[in-house]
Structure 1
Amino acid sequence: MIERIKQVRKITGAGVMLCREALEKSGGNIEKAVAYIHENTKIGKRCEPWTDEEWIRAIGYVPNKSK
């Protein structure tokens, strides 16, 4: 869980507790946790969308962007 929190923090710049909350609400899924932060917080609304290269550097793959 700590590694996932670190990854979400690296992607979003959010605090530890917010990352933990997002991961709990997303069932441990990093992509859904990032989406939760982007949709539900001021931090996420200020963030620029990531490029595919940035996703690969952060988590090793590009998440499915279709909803």
Structure 2
Amino acid sequence: TIDLSALKKDVLVSLKQCHFKNMTFTGNISYENLNGPVFENCFFDSCNFENVSLVGFDKVTCESYDVLC
């Protein structure tokens, strides 16, 4: 199990070209930590996301994050 709330931005940015298999992800993750090249080219094979919450996304506008729009 990986607790996303325990991972700092620099750790998330370092996760590139990863292949997660049969992993469970939990916890809160903030907009600030997801903004940028996070989980770049990563694959999630048979993974579960349990009680994952995205926090701080109420501050996001279409201009600042086109992917959400």
TM-score, with structure 1 as normaliser: 0.25
Q: Could you say which structure has the higher helix fraction?
A: 1
- Answer 1 or 2: higher relative contact order, Cα 8 Å, separation at least 6: 2
Q: Could you say which structure has the higher strand fraction?
A: 2
